[in-house]
């Protein structure tokens, strides 16, 4: 009976790996996204963004609120004036999860996932 349990376990692990794509990502190699900030909050809610590691990120933020936009982890920061916009264009060289924030308002605009 013990051998059957091991066999079932092996089948379960194999199925999980296949379902997960064996670690491969379905994230795009280029991310183009625009976030509109209205009353110091992301219109439509906090965005979940994905890109493959070493992919290209093109992010535009239009804001009715003056503040600093901070891409945590990459440590990119730009001031956006009230009624203005800023653009971030960078290669996603660090994998992991990163918050994009309206810094002084401590408001998350997006969660960026850079996948291997």
Distance CA 50, CA 98 (A): 10
Looking up tokens 């891409």, which residue turns up? 71
How is the chain split into domains, by residue range?
25-115
| Cα end-to-end span (Å), the chain | 39
26-79 tens-digit pLDDT? 999 999 999 999 999 999 999 999 999 999 999 999 999 999 999 999 999 999
Residue-level pLDDT at 96: 98
Question: Could you tell me which of 91, 92, 88 has the C-alpha nearest to residue 101?
Answer: 88
Other CB atoms within 10 Å distance of the CB of residue 102: 23
Architecture of domain 25-115: Sandwich (2.60)
pTM of the model: 0.78
């Amino acid at each position: 009976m013990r051998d059957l349990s091991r066999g079932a376990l092996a089948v379960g692990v194999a199925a999980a790996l296949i379902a997960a794509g064996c670690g491969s990502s379905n994230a795009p190699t280029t991310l183009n996204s625009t976030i509109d900030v209205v009353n110091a909050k992301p219109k439509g809610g906090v965005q979940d963004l994905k890109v493959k590691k070493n992919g290209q990120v093109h992010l535009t933020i239009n804001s009715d609120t003056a503040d600093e936009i901070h891409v945590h982890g990459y440590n990119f920061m730009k001031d956006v004036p009230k009624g203005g916009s800023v653009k971030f264009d960078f290669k996603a060289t660090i994998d992991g999860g990163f918050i994009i924030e309206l810094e002084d308002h401590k408001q998350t605009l997006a969660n960026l996932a850079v996948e291997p």
